[in-house]
């Protein structure tokens, strides 16, 4: 059955594992280069550290190592692993599906390509299952987001088929998981036809787009967001609050108008 078959060990009958391993290393290199160029171009990390240094001046207390550690643990457990920034609801559910799906898909790819990619490999069943499950979760979460939740559609009433540069990340992510699944399915049928190779090529192109497009896409948010969440939590714990005023100590009276419509015109 497709879901229990390691597609890379099947592929090894025609493509030497060293090529697959080199491809993974190339993808990792592309991510590092894309992110570094992005950082240099936007100066976002420079701003981030300057801002953090400035905020520190208004800190009300110096955090001990123990306090800092507990802020780091809380940030990882809450802000990062559950993307709490997205609040309760569909947006967070879709993101969690896509994020964990992608993490499963990528981890299983690396393990299968580096440890079990010879054609005689005896792959523990957990890896192909995680790979296929991850790809399916990414497709569900990504499509849900792209068709219904992305701001252009949800708040601005643009049709779902209108594609702009900002869709590069989510569409390349969707394409790579969908083409990966189709390729694996066709290959598992053992028909020796042209179509599994065709989808393998599409899988390769979508990966090149996803990992080669980091500079132009939102890929790097998966590195920036955790950093920003940590800084926010540290600034809260040391009382500097990023130089923002504390919440008012008064009842929340906004009038009835605020109940008229969910805020979504951001």
Please state the closest distance from residue 229 (CB atom) to ligand HEM, in A: 5
What is the rounded distance in angstroms from the CA atom of residue 107 to the CA atom of residue 92? 22
Out of 7, 17, 91, 130, point to the residue binding ligand HEM (CB under 6 A).
Answer: 91
Cα 192 to Cα 186, 189, 196: the distances in Å are 9, 8, 8
Nearer to ligand HEM, 15 or 166 (CB): 166
What is the rounded distance in angstroms from the CA atom of residue 222 to the CA atom of residue 127? 23
Query: Which residue in this structure is represented by tokens 């926010």?
Result: 232
Contact between 218 and ligand HEM by CB under 6 A: the answer reads: yes
Contact between 172 and ligand HEM by CB under 6 A: the answer reads: no
Nearer to ligand HEM, 113 or 210 (CB): 210
Q: What contacts 99, CB < 8 A, 6 or more positions away?
A: 83, 141, 222
222 and 98 in contact (C-beta within 8 Å)? no
Contact between 17 and ligand HEM by CB under 6 A: the answer reads: no
Out of 52, 80, 140, 208, point to the residue binding ligand HEM (CB under 6 A).
Answer: 80
Exposure on the CB side of residue 3, measured as CA atoms within 13 A: 8
Nearer to ligand HEM, 254 or 266 (CB): 266
Please state the closest distance from residue 181 (CB atom) to ligand HEM, in A: 16
Q: What contacts 56, CB < 8 A, 6 or more positions away?
A: 238, 240
What is the rounded distance in angstroms from the CA atom of residue 115 to the CA atom of residue 14? 18
Please state the closest distance from residue 248 (CB atom) to ligand HEM, in A: 26
Query: Which residue in this structure is represented by tokens 């300057």?
Result: 50
Out of 24, 39, 85, 236, point to the residue binding ligand HEM (CB under 6 A).
Answer: 85
Site for ligand HEM in 144-163 (CB under 6 A): 145, 149-150
- The contact set with ligand HEM (CB under 6 A) reads 79-80, 83, 85-86, 91, 95, 98-99, 102-103, 142, 145, 149-150, 166-167, 169-170, 173, 218, 221-222, 225-226, 229
């Amino acid at each position: 059955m497709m879901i229990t078959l390691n597609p890379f060990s099947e592929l090894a009958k025609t493509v030497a594992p060293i090529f697959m391993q080199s491809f993974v290393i190339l993808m990792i290199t592309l991510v590092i280069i894309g992110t570094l160029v992005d950082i240099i171009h936007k100066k976002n990390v420079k701003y981030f550290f300057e801002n953090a240094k400035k905020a520190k001046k208004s800190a009300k207390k110096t955090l001990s190592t123990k306090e800092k550690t507990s802020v780091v643990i809380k940030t990882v457990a809450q802000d990062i692993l559950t993307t709490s920034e997205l609040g309760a609801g569909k947006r967070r559910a879709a993101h969690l599906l896509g994020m964990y799906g992608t993490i499963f898909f990528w981890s299983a790819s690396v393990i299968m390509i580096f440890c079990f990619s010879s054609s005689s490999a005896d792959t523990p069943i957990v890896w192909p299952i995680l790979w296929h499950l991850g790809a399916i979760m990414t497709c569900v979460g990504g499509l849900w987001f792209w068709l219904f939740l992305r701001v252009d559609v949800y708040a601005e009433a643009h049709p779902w088929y209108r594609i702009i540069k900002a869709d590069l990340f989510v569409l390349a992510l969707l394409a790579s998981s969908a083409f990966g699944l189709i390729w694996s399915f066709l290959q598992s049928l053992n028909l020796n036809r042209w179509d599994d190779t065709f989808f393998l090529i599409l899988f390769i192109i979508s990966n090149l787009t996803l990992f080669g497009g980091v500079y132009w896409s939102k890929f790097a948010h998966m590195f920036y967001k955790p950093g920003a969440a940590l800084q926010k939590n540290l600034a809260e714990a040391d009382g500097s609050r990023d130089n923002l005023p504390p919440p008012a100590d008064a009842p929340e009276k906004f009038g009835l108008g605020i109940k008229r419509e969910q805020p979504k015109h951001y």
